Structure 1
């Protein structure tokens, strides 16, 4: 918040991923256990990865007001794909590096955290899963070989998940809940769901909300605001934007065109 010299130190049972959007210093150094110290002055656009249990400390005299994103990652978190064995891997530290895919995923996660719109939780969870895969990929310095499910969800899984979404269409449904219904890990569930329904879970859920809204719009006794609340939107403007995005019309215009 201020351009004054400062020091920092970190060591924890979780991994730490740092994405420096703006970071310049007149002087200082950065140390990650297992790597040489760095006195790099400009590390804007650089990533740093501190594995769980590693010391991370440094100091700097900032040249600008830094803007940095910190992701604290539980090695045995509930969204980690079991096939990755994420909690069992020995990760290597990395200091001031760049990886396009990891950087883009980090920025997308930041955007979801800052957004106040609806239907974002599942997408954010999916990005969290993707982040774990990206970390495994860069740790091995090779493209992660994944097991691909060719057949999508089984019939009973499709029916069970679709019925649950319909029943809770107005709710914020965690990805982990849907995956548990299908008895799959969140990662494999997301892949199989898209193969079966043609879209990711969060987009399918969004579409079902709008379809429910269309049904309610036929009842002219209900206001657009009441319908927005009924299908899970906290603001009419957010509902109108989502409806227009998926139908090309505002709710009011759609209602006027109903015979």
Structure 2
């Protein structure tokens, strides 16, 4: 959207809505969902808004810089396949979540690619997204955590997340991540946990398992190949890690995707 333009969005329907604010800032504006939550936050770079099915959503803003927003709509039935109930999906406005952002971006790219054989991949992405949107701390609607409270700055979060995503087949050392964020290891570990709610090591394991879920949707890929691609020398080690993280064995999870 060009600078200076005013935009208004309204939605209420039988589907869930996830908005990705890729970049932009606003001179003024407000967003609300059924009066449950509202926000007048002006900066919107790499933020998200989630509107559960049936909720009335409205937003207006006047652009102070070039603004790009992507809207993704989800059939609640598709998310229920991942055993996530609608009651666990609460409205959230202008929030930061690196996991949700990464998965939603992959879903956007997959849809734009228009491949005829990517349905299992899309279904797997929807399942991953459902779990990420329903984690306990998403029950509380909140603004992004200020950097002054000890978390990583926006550029630090983006560079660290990008590096982890590019090296899912490796065990990335904390020293490397700290160097990318230009912090000492001690300061980085503390800031990372404040920003993501979990330690950096646990975050890496979580992302590897989420990637494994996506690979399991491709039945042409054997479980052994998936394990090797994620840096596991033994299939049994991968299966153990996957079950610990998800509660499923890789075989059982793949069977549920039918």
**Alignment TM-score, normalising by the size of structure 1:** 0.50
**TM-score normalized by the length of structure 2:** 0.50
The structure with the largest alpha-carbon Rg is 1
